Structure formats: C-alpha cells, structure tokens
C-alpha cells in the first residue's frame, strides 16, 4: 500500500510540474507585460524604448513553451493572417 502511495505521489508531482507555468525574469520589473516609453515623436523622427521584463515558460515533455502576457505568438492565427 505504501508503495502505491509513493507511486501516486510521484505521478501527481510529475503531472503538476508538467503544467506549471514559470516566470523567467529578464530584467527586474514590477510588471509582467512589456512596457514602452515614447522619448521623441515628431514629424521626422519617432524614438521609444521597450522593456521586456520576462517570459512565461511552460515545460511540455522535453520542450518549453514560452509566451509574453498580453502579446501574441508567431503561430497565432491573427499574426499569420497579417503576414
């Protein structure tokens, strides 16, 4: 019985880790979404900065699926249709 309980616990923990979304921080920030800052915008030049604080990573088997909150992905239908 103890053997089965341990096995069940191990499978449960493995399944949890398989769907866990991890935050991978690129740079220290209070936000998890990209932040932009327009420095100059006139009739001849537009200059702005973009800070990407990090990505969300989800392990799937041997792969990692990565995403940025509130932004799209290359394989999204919307982005493919725009190209």
Residues at the site binding other proteins, with contacts judged by CB under 8 A: 24, 26-27, 34, 36, 38, 41-55, 60, 62-68, 71-75, 77, 79, 82-83
Q: Cβ of residue 40: shortest distance to other proteins, in angstroms?
A: 9
What is the C-alpha to C-alpha distance for residues 60 and 27, in angstroms, rounded to an integer? 25
Nearer to other proteins, 2 or 83 (CB): 83
Nearer to other proteins, 4 or 63 (CB): 63
Strand partners, 60: 63
Residues 66/30, Cβ–Cβ less than 8 Å:
no
Nearer to other proteins, 7 or 51 (CB): 51
Characterise 70 by phi-psi region: left (phi > 0), alpha (psi -120 to 50), beta (else): left
Output the six-digit token pair for 7.
């096995």
Q: Cβ of residue 16: shortest distance to other proteins, in angstroms?
A: 19
């Amino acid at each position: 019985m103890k053997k089965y309980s341990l096995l069940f616990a191990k499978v449960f923990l493995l399944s949890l880790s398989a769907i866990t979304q991890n935050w991978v921080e690129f740079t220290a920030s209070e936000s998890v979404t990209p932040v932009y800052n327009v420095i100059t915008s006139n009739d001849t030049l537009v200059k702005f900065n973009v800070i990407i604080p990090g990505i969300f990573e989800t392990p799937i088997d041997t792969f990692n699926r990565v995403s940025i909150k509130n932004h799209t992905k290359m394989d999204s239908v919307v982005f493919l249709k725009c190209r």
